[in-house]
A and B are shown apart, each in its own frame.
Chain A
């Protein structure tokens, strides 16, 4: 005999099931409509926001339907499954070991042969590594020199050479050696300082004619272009990791992770009045490496 409240419970369950079926059907139909709408949007030429939204509705409708189906209509359990121990019986293990050993009575000098095999495989491995060498050029002196040579004109990226009048006091420009505007390692920042406020550091006398001072634009920390200049404080600032370089003091780092000053490019003016380098940087530009001091 069934108790009244059991009948009631069965009734609610039936109602719940009915509701679930309704919502699942709604989910699937919403999805189908969204897919159709997506096809129409696509056919009419596409529109990113609509495409994303309609695709989300098309996917989400099925997701909701299936999710409800699983949680409301499918067998819920909880089901219990036994968990056997993972390891096999000791006898299996011994047999596996024996199978691995192979021959019950080892061949004479087996370990010698195994060593020889090991050596051969190792040698093959080393030989197989050599094609890696084809991937790139030898580092050689690449990191120690740039394209600046004595007398090389400093030009903008567009290739225009500079005279003293092309830069006002307080202004700055990124320059390259003429003919090498694509040479990333040669990018140099030229700042025109007031001649009164700038004094050549020892050993660099005459490197900054008429207040034109040139520093490598590559940060000595991780190689980003030192792209920001604060005129009031005469500081160069690297936007990647916030190293700060003092322009009036040989571009010494004053804050941030950089440990070395930006190398300075010796500048001059040639007979035609154009800005030139009077030599290459005297140390490697850019980030540090193991044997940087072994030029």
Chain B
């Protein structure tokens, strides 16, 4: 059976030697190499559930009276988009589960990409020859965040409508081209009728196609360059140690896919997410409070909240306040991410190819910088809930905001310094693990 299949393929495609090489290809076994795969599989789940959802969703802001089975909204005028999401959630069998799996998978997709990025960063896996895949990876993260935002904006509910309102304002804030950009993207002054239909095309066609293409390129380059590997006995710059693709690695990987799918299915079935019926349909003069976006937008939201009431005004022109936290900061963030492999190569004057990974301690400066950067964005993320924290602690929001402003600037250097000393000490002591490191190694790293 196998014999006939292989002969048939070989006689037509001459594929035997490629198949032998491919099936025998060796993949390292370290668990941290699975994180990127989790992102990949989350994307597959997104496509599978997304296709189902797209068969029911209506990308239109035309008004219609809701007559579905959710009683509190019966008789209310809602948009067709909102109406179709309500129908999906209450009147289409398996619709709610599909919607919730889709949303959970989106959160997981971006989370897995961020953790994967951290793994690549802290182990130096971005170094030559892997800069191209780093750039593709950063682009995938950017597209993932963007498509997450377009996705949760589609239902045209009160929360997401407010998010679009803020997006319109952020577009407006860009100097010179802002008003034109906002009017062209939305089709006019907010709330323009075209935006939901446009977001739909972007969300289900343009961006997924780009993500799919880039993932293919990411994997093809990975295949060609082979995996990096942690240093260890028998592992060198000129070999890869681990499991063969067939059958062990393939079975493991399929198992991981099903496990990721199982987790998102469990979440989708049991943990409610984005209950648009509680938010109600979008009305431009209404707003839900508190209003928090999906987690991956939290850092931008936090930056918007922490930004002091400053803006540049000169010669009768202005650069409005939202520009700095919501355009400049994300711009610089992704610019630095893109540039990092080249910046580091320049600082360290290291232009050699590397296939063996660093451990975090091997590069104290890089590790400290990474930790400080993560601290900065984590503080911004938590600052997006300053109103909730104020309510919880029964203090004024302004007090919480002030504390966060101090933390966002003060904490990263502290964390960076502490991590730097710890890494130096760990390196100097030669201890294998943190817990085996003598305290003196941290306090007096030079001895």
> Hey, which bits of chain A sit against chain B, CB under 8 A?
42, 45-46, 48-53, 55-57, 59-60, 62-67, 69-71, 74-83, 85-86, 132-133, 135-139, 142-143, 157, 174, 176, 184-185, 187, 217, 221-225, 227-228, 239-244, 253, 255-259, 286-294
Contacts and interface: CB of A to CB of B under 8 A. Distances in A.
Interface in B225-261: 225-226, 234, 237-244, 247-249, 251-252, 254-259, 261
Interface string B142-182: 00000000000000000000100110111011111011101
Given A135-B187, A184-B190, A227-B287, A83 B355 contact: yes
A41 to B, nearest CB: 9
B409 interface: no
A189 B162 CA distance: 18
Contacts of A81: 24-26, 226, 239-241
Contacts of B26: 77, 79-81
A289 B318 CA distance: 7
19 contacts: A55-B262, A55-B269, A66-B254, A67-B251, A75-B244, A75-B248, A77-B244, A81-B24, A83-B226, A83-B237, A86-B129, A135-B185, A176-B285, A221-B169, A223-B169, A227-B289, A242-B397, A244-B398, A259-B309
Contacts of B310: 259
A256 B325 CA distance: 13
A80 B176 contact: no
B308 interface: yes
A169 to B, nearest CB: 23
Nearest to B99: A48
Contacts of A240: 162, 166, 287, 291
B258 A63 contact: yes
Contacts, number: 277
B166 A225 contact: no
A225 B285 contact: yes
B16 interface: no
A217 B97 contact: no
Given A83-B226, A257-B304, A56 B244 contact: no
Contacts of B319: 290
A53 B270 contact: yes
A74 to B, nearest CB: 4
Interface in B277-302: 283-291
Given A81-B24, A255-B398, A293-B317, A74 B248 contact: yes
B321 A288 contact: yes
A184 B285 contact: yes
A185 B189 contact: yes
B242 A77 contact: yes
Contacts of B263: 56
A42 B94 contact: yes
Nearest to B92: A46
B321 A258 contact: yes
A20 B95 CA distance: 37
Contact of A48 (B96, B172, B183): B96
Contact of B259 (A67, A242, A257): A67
A52 B263 CA distance: 9
A70 B251 contact: yes
B180 A139 contact: yes
A5 B149 CA distance: 62
Contact of B188 (A76, A136, A157, A217): A136
Contacts of B311: 259, 288
Contact of A184 (B97, B191, B269): B191
Contacts of A227: 286-287, 289
Given A79-B26, A291-B317, A222 B166 contact: yes
A289 B241 contact: no
B187 A52 contact: no
A132 B100 CA distance: 35
B353 interface: yes
* A-B pairs with lowest CB-CB distance, top 7: A52-B269, A288-B320, A184-B284, A239-B289, A63-B258, A60-B262, A70-B251
Given A139-B179, A294-B316, A288 B173 contact: yes
